[in-house]
Amino acid sequence: MNTTDKKPFVTVPLEASSFPTAFPFAERSASQSLSYGHPGAEEYRCEIFGINHFQKEGLVREASTGRTWRLAADEGSYLRGTDLAPAPLSHWGAGIHGDVVLTIASLARAQGLELRKLSVVVQQGFASKGSLAKGEAVGLVFNLSCQVEMDIDCDRNTASNLVKQALLASPVMNAMITAREGTFALYLNNQRTPHSGLLDSKNSQTDPLTIHSGTFEPTNESVWPTIVTRRPGTGEKGFVLEDDSASSVSWYVQAEGELDMGTGLVHTTVNFPKTGANSRWSLVSDGSGKMAPSPRAYFSIGTAFCYHTQFCRYIDFRRLSVGPTVLVQSSSFSVDDTGGSLKASASPFDTHVFLNGDIDVAAATPLPKVAANTCYAHRALETAIEMSVDINLMQTTN
């Protein structure tokens, strides 16, 4: 339930929390303005709060319905995190995967095609180059691929057209393959502060620390019981991303899973194979946002979580005297009916960062740019990425 008393807002370390990693914070109060298979528009507001080191929690609110989920994020051994919650890019990857799966399923249903099984694997390549310590690090993005396997009542040509139409109708996929530079704002002790090297936001936001009080607690409604599940890693030897290393390190995110034909939920397992992460994480998504977060909510908050991680990495390295970093991010998606086919679009993400503490303007000004350069999610948003698609039709055996 929402807190209404005047107590200060308090974050709880993940190891001490009695609540699940993911839980509903506010109930849905209206119909979605952008549901799968239909035109419309939707906006998501994310509020991210640092807990300690790379642990963080956040709220993601769907504007049309008011549906709000509280999610937690952490990092694995590759960043010396505590690995107590999915990494930011696990949420992000689940969002990409889930949006593709549900868009394919919704278009198949609209076209009267019997879909008996649908499994998708999405991979996105990344690299880190340059020294974060010197503020020169940059994230590189390459090799986006989508492998679709399905048992469906149609021929290969029809299935190929279905997948092609779905990728065009997916707002998250549009955000991935079309370059858009986001907008940013920086606040120092509640005062808007100049930043350098990024587009300045024309919007204004309020520090969420002045809005919330107490701790975040779940609603009393019934949702999917295992929204987030931790699984063993692959056992591969990995690496640790060093702040002061100038060498280049490449790796990739893999999100795989299938549509539950009975419930309509998507089960996605996300892994970073080359990092040697101790854990893989499975995340459940619901297109309606009722039983679990929607893919677009995951994608939005995953981006915000990722930016928060990179911001905090640089603050920690510089030993800046600030309290927990807080940010607000707005993302919006739309789908238009273009004469019988659906075409999706994503607007530039708008990010506002709030710092409180003993830090001067000169030290704060470069921080948003340094974080944006190393945030893999933001680098993907501002890079035009080519995507390869592979489709495999299978037949179920009775």
CATH of the domain at 201: 3.30.300.20
What distance in Å separates the CA atoms of residue 310 and residue 50, rounded to the nearest whole number? 12
339 inside domain: yes
Rounded mean pLDDT, 374-391: 96
Please give the pLDDT value at position 242: 60
Q: Flag whether pLDDT at 1 surpasses 50.
A: no
7 inside domain: no
**If DSSP codes are grouped into helix, strand and coil, which group holds residue 17?**
coil
Mean pLDDT value of segment 143-168: 97
What CA–CA distances, in Å, run from 357 to 186, 208, 320?
Answer: 14, 16, 9
- Check residue 245 and give its pLDDT: 57
Residue 207 located in a structural domain: yes
> Residue 31 and residue 397: Cα distance in Å, rounded?
39
Q: How confident is the model at residue 320 (pLDDT cuts 50, 70, 90)?
A: confident
DSSP 8-class letter at 230: E
**Lowest-pLDDT range, 4-8, 215-219, 320-324?**
4-8
Q: Residue 324 belongs to what domain range?
A: 14-393
Per-residue pLDDT reduced to its tens digit, 255-282: 999 999 999 999 999 999 877 667 899 9
d(C-alpha 394, C-alpha 96), whole Å = 23
Distance CA 98, CA 31 (A): 20
What pLDDT is attached to residue 398?
43
In a domain, 298, yes or no: yes
Sign of CA dihedral 210, 45, 216, 95: negative
* Count of structural domains within the chain: 1
| Residue 5 within a domain | no
Answer yes or no: is 352 within a domain: yes
Measure the CA–CA gap between 387 and 398, rounded to whole angstroms.
Answer: 35
Residue 2: inside a domain, yes or no?
no
Q: What integer is the mean pLDDT of 335-355?
A: 97
Predicted pLDDT at 53: 86
* pTM across the whole model: 0.95
DSSP strands (E only) in 181-265: 183-188, 191-193, 199-200, 228-232, 249-259
Residue 148 placed within a domain: yes
Q: Taking all residues of the chain, what is their mean pLDDT, rounded to a whole number?
A: 92
User: Closest Cα to residue 222, out of 7, 12, 28, 9?
Assistant: 28
